[in-house]
Structure formats: structure tokens, C-alpha cells
Amino acid sequence: MIFSSAPGIRPWIGLLLTLFSAAASAEVHNIDATFEPDFANPQRNQFKNQTPSEGFCRQIPQACEPIGLFSLIARIPFTANAPILANHADPRQGGMARIPSDWRDVQVTHSSGDTHKLQVRIAGIGHELGLPRPVNELTGGKWWDDLWDGGGWVYAPPPCQGVGWVSAGDYGYNSFWKVPEGAGTCAKKALFDIPLAMRYQYFVYAYELRTPDPLKMDAGDYTGSITYTVGPNMDFDMGDVMIPSDSILTLNFNLKVTHTMKVDIPPGGNRVVLEPVGGWQSWLNEGRKPTRLMRDQTFNISASSRFKMNIECQYVVDNSCALWESTAGHVAPLEVSVSLPNGLTDGAGQAVNRRRLLRDGTGTELFQPGFYLDRKVGTLHFEVARDAVDEMLKDGYARSYSGNVTVIWDSEVG
């Protein structure tokens, strides 16, 4: 149960439940996030955290969701190794927290060996605090706001920030603090003696993620992990009095990438007929030979992944394709190039306009989307240059040139 707190209000529950009787030998949490392209939001190229929150962000989602926080329960109890003395001068002798609030890098790796950088920071900390005696006995008939300097733990000590929510009873107090990036120690001073042995039944931590750009990642799973230490002067530091039952907290990350890569050719588009610009009438009526033969063929592409392109040829001239005339035994070189829609660039971030397609893929090794493209129009350009056209069009000879060209969009990039 969670209550909103304000000065003068004493929310409480009558029984503090001990949720975890023992801690595991090592605390391990798995965090899963997925990316799937969304045609309704093509500019949203972000992973979605699929790990359900526990503790604070589950109970009070309105305090977490707007700022992208998630929380998990670390089943690591802390027990005081000494009494907490009233008005202690050293913050490490009371109730305090210092957590890894700076961004830390985590390398995530695909089975192919492709690696990317994930960043994580701990952005909040909460405790289920338990007293050895009722709070009104320790304070001479007073309440939690009187036990600690500055009020109960709902009033977070700087640089931490309170969230305005708390649950409390005679023995127990459940609170949460947000922790800004790069914050140091947040400490509460006791105003009354607390005898052995105050406890944290567990702690809740909020975390924030910066995920890599999924459009630059291969489809499949990327995994990585980070290990934090828990205890005095460690990553999760609750002071010198509060001692954890375990000193290790490991976060395992799994980022699952699902890509869309689809190319549609309009009906009849697989048959390409080359013609002069403006058609054949100038040659037939006026005897003016065409300077080139060409045809543009559009296609629709949906893409959220990197890809490369190349061609395969029925008839080959060097690194490109050719057309074949069987009667004369003549080969005419054919140039094939591609123009890609806005949002797709090459590896250098340049637009792709009439980029030559070759058999070995030179120059087209990497194309990448800046956002998810859904059925955007691109163009394949087929052309026979002037020198070859002169040889093809011989007066008095009827010739028919043909050849098969296979254009390949390949999402298996390097």
C-alpha cells in the first residue's frame, strides 16, 4: 500500500511484512528490451524495455514513466552492525546512500561478433526500513518525522530528491529517493538513538538506459552485463553501519532486434524494355540514331536495417552485366544503377543517387536508414551508353538484345 504524504500527515499500515527471509549468494537481474519497426511512428527508433518494474515504479508509475525510469527489487538485506547514535557527526554512521548515478558503458555483442554500446545509470534508491522497536518508543511518543533530521525519509536529503510518496507503520518505513546524475552522498541524521539492529529488508533501485541505434544493428539478440558491488565504499554504499548480506549485483542485458526488409516491384516491373529518350520515332522518321538506350524501373522499399546491394548477370562484361545478341554474337555492356529514397544513405551519410551497381558490390557495401521507411519509392536505372548503341544499331540488320539481371538487396552486412 502506498500513500501520498504531506507535512502533518502520518500515513501508516499496521504490519510491516518481511518479504524476503534470505538473500541469494549473488543477486542477478535480467533486463530485456526489444526493437520492432513501427510504421505508425517511423521516426521512433528506440528499444522498448520489456522488463516489468518492481517496487516503486510499479506502485507509482506516474512518477517514473514520464522520465523513462524503471525499478527492480534487489533482494539483499542490510543489517546494522552497531547502534545508530543520536546526532552523529559522521553521515556514514547513520542512514545514507551513495549509488552509481553516473552513466556506465556496457558492451552488447551479437552472435556474429557485431558490438554496440549500451549505457546505464542508477537513478533512484528506496528501502524497506525496519526498526528493532516501535518508532514511538524510540522517540518518546513521537513519529517518523521526529526520528530523523529534516523529517521522515519521504523528505529526501540533498542532492537526492523526494517523490512525495511513503508507506509507514510502527516498525517499518518504505521510501524512495530519486538520484540526479553525478550525485554524491545523500544522508539522514538520527535525532534519537536507534539500538541494534536496524534493517533494510531489501532495496529498490531505479535505472535509466541509453540504448544504441537499432537501425545500425543486425537482427537478433545482443547480450552484455555489468556488475556492481554492494557494501561500504562500494558502488551501492549505505554507510559503515548498514552491512549487506551480499556484495554483488549483476545486471544482464538482452537487446532483441527485429528488422523489416522488403522490396516490391510493381506488376510487370520484372520485364525491362530499353528505349531511347522520347522513343524510337526520331530514328524511324528522321534517321537520327539514339545516343543511349535506357529505362527507369521504380520499386517500393520498406527497411529498418542496414543492407548492401549488388547484381548477378546472365551475360558478363568485366564487373557488370551485358546484353547478348545471338545472331551477330554481339555483347553490349549494360550499366545498372540505383537511386534510394530520402532517409537511406551510404556509409558516409551521403544520399544515394544513380549509384552504380556492380557484380562485386563495390561502392554499395552499406546503405543505412535514418528512420524506418515504409513502402518508399526508389528507382533502378538501366542504360546502354552511346558507344555501345552505335554498334547495336547497324543499318540493314535486325537485332534483338536480351539478358537477365538479378538485383540483390542483402541485409547480411559485413
pLDDT tens track of the chain, all 414 residues? 233 333 333 333 322 333 333 334 689 999 999 999 987 888 888 999 999 999 999 988 988 998 889 999 999 999 999 999 999 999 999 999 999 999 999 999 999 999 999 999 999 999 999 999 999 999 999 999 999 999 999 999 999 999 988 899 999 999 999 999 999 999 999 999 999 989 999 999 999 999 999 999 999 999 999 999 999 999 999 999 999 999 999 999 999 999 999 999 999 999 999 988 767 766 655 566 777 899 999 999 999 999 999 999 999 999 999 999 988 888 999 999 999 999 999 999 999 999 999 999 999 999 999 999 999 999 999 999 888 887 787 766 677 899 999 999 998 886
Q: How far apart are CA 64 and CA 182, in angstroms?
A: 19
* Cα end-to-end span (Å), the chain: 53
400 exposure class (CB count in 10 Å sphere: 0-12, 13-18, 19+): exposed
Nearest CA among 16, 15, 11, 8 for reference residue 151: 8
Cα dihedral across residues 134, 135, 139, 143: positive or negative: negative
Would you say 207 and 126 are in contact if contact means Cβ atoms under 8 Å apart? no
Would you say 303 and 344 are in contact if contact means Cβ atoms under 8 Å apart? yes
Q: Does domain 261-410 have CATH number 2.40.128?
A: no
For the chain, give every residue range classified as CATH 2.60.40.
Answer: 261-410
pLDDT of residue 36: 92
Would you say 131 and 172 are in contact if contact means Cβ atoms under 8 Å apart? yes
Paired sense of beta strands 261-264 and 293-303, if any: antiparallel
pLDDT of residue 25: 60
Q: Does an H or E element contain 48, and which?
A: strand 48-49
* Amino acid sitting at position 73: I
Helix, strand, or coil (residue 116) = strand
User: Which pTM does this prediction carry?
Assistant: 0.81
Helix, strand, or coil (residue 70) = strand
| Cell (9 digits) for 294 | 535506357
Please report, for residues 214, 215, 260, 266, the alpha-carbon distance to residue 374 in angstroms, rounded to integers and kept in the order given.
Answer: 16, 14, 9, 15
Q: How far apart are CA 6 and CA 151, in angstroms?
A: 11
